[in-house]
């Protein structure tokens, strides 16, 4: 695998994206879950712009895979 290739490609449908946005807006959503949703949305190939692993890691304060 080359450094630029992605191990997993995230492709969210419009309905899945709506559900994630609804969960994200709820007040009782934990920060961990909210952060994971934001990462999924950033990596979604069906709704550009798609971020790289490096961009996503720096934006959300996580380590790269």
**Per-residue pLDDT at 65:** 67
**Residue 65 domain-assigned?**
no
The burial of 44, by beta-carbon neighbours within 10 Å (0-12 exposed, 13-18 middle, 19 or more buried), is given as buried
**Per-residue pLDDT at 1:** 45
Owning domain of residue 29: 14-60
**Per-residue pLDDT at 21:** 97
**Residue 54 domain-assigned?**
yes
Tens of each residue's pLDDT in the chain, 65 residues:
445 566 788 999 999 999 999 999 999 999 999 999 999 999 999 998 988 888 988 888 888 76
**Residue 8 domain-assigned?**
no
DSSP type of residue 14: H
Task: Please check whether residue 37 is in contact with residue 16, taking contact to mean a CB–CB distance below 8 angstroms.
Answer: no
Task: Please check whether residue 54 is in contact with residue 64, taking contact to mean a CB–CB distance below 8 angstroms.
Answer: yes
């Amino acid at each position: 695998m080359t450094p630029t290739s992605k191990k997993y490609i995230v492709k969210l449908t419009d309905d899945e994206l709506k559900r994630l946005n609804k969960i994200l807006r709820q007040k009782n959503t934990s920060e961990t879950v909210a952060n994971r949703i934001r990462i999924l949305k950033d990596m979604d190939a069906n709704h550009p712009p798609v971020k790289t692993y490096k961009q996503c890691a720096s934006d959300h304060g996580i380590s790269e895979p």
